[in-house]
Amino acid sequence: MLRDALARAATLGVARLDAQLLLLHVLGRPAGDRGWLIAHDDDVLGDSGWQSYAALCGRRADGEPLAYLTGEKEFFGLPLAVDARVLVPRPDTETLVEWALAVLRDTPSPRVVDLGTGSGAIALAIQSARPDAQVEAVDRSADALAVAGGNARRLGLPVAFRQAHWLEGAGVYDLVVGNPPYVAAADPHLQSLHHEPLSALAAGPEGLDDLRAIVAAAPAHLRPGGWLLLEHGHDQAPAVRALLAAAGFTEVASRDDLAGIARCSGGRRLELG
């Protein structure tokens, strides 16, 4: 019975919500059907369903992200396909998207580039909210671009994808935005993230290598008055603001995530004249 399957998941240490979502996935039902599970807890789960469910629960108990197991993660209202080729989009990154949309509010047909796009989450969210924008998304990983491109086609969003390392070969934009790697190479938290691609997480001894490179290169790729907005680690806001100020950015500031932690920082290229 379904209630027995959920009880078995609990003995493996799988959180109840995760267990319910995995069971709905095995049953081919929408993630919002948790009420259906309660009403049908005495339904029988066949042998093949039980085997699939037990395997998924074992992987979840081992720390594999739920999104990899179901193959989907919602971000800014968009259902994105994800797998082990890309990071799982985090809700905190929606803070970066909200800030990006705010700085673009008075810019008609803005040109935007998303650096290290991964699943395409940031680029696709901006394109969805601003159909008039010309959005480009860059990633060094061909595998990540395959995932992002698939999401764009499925959602019908005309983001342009390009394989490159940060701003190499880039044009000039109204907004450069990104969520680059920012974890220190020796950070013990990386152990709990071993299912996700290390190249999208770690960035040198302080976690600042990629942030430093992007800040240094960005002014040459921004129109006067254009913005650079970057996500970073929970304790890196002062360091990133200092990098921005040293590179000549004005209106340097940080924005808090859902937990009240300064999660992204940015600044504006000085207007000419």
**Structural domains of the chain, with CATH:** 2-62 (no CATH), 74-268 (3.40.50.150)
* Phi, psi of 72, rounded to the nearest 5 degrees: -150, 145
pLDDT (tens digit, 0 to 9) for every residue of the chain, 273 residues total?
788 889 889 988 999 999 999 999 999 898 888 888 888 878 888 888 889 999 999 999 988 999 999 999 999 999 999 999 998 999 999 999 999 999 999 999 999 999 999 999 999 999 999 999 999 999 999 999 999 999 999 999 999 999 999 999 999 999 999 998 755 555 555 555 555 555 555 555 566 888 999 999 999 999 999 999 999 988 899 999 999 999 999 999 999 998 899 999 999 998 764
Q: What is the pTM of this model?
A: 0.89
* Phi, psi of 80, rounded to the nearest 5 degrees: -110, 135
Strand order in the sheet with 111-115: 160-163, 134-139, 111-115, 173-178, 222-231, 262-268, 250-256
State the helix-helix crossing angle for 121-129 and 142-155, rounded to 10 degrees: 30
Give CA separation, 44 vs 6, 49, 51, 93, 271, in Å: 12, 10, 13, 40, 66
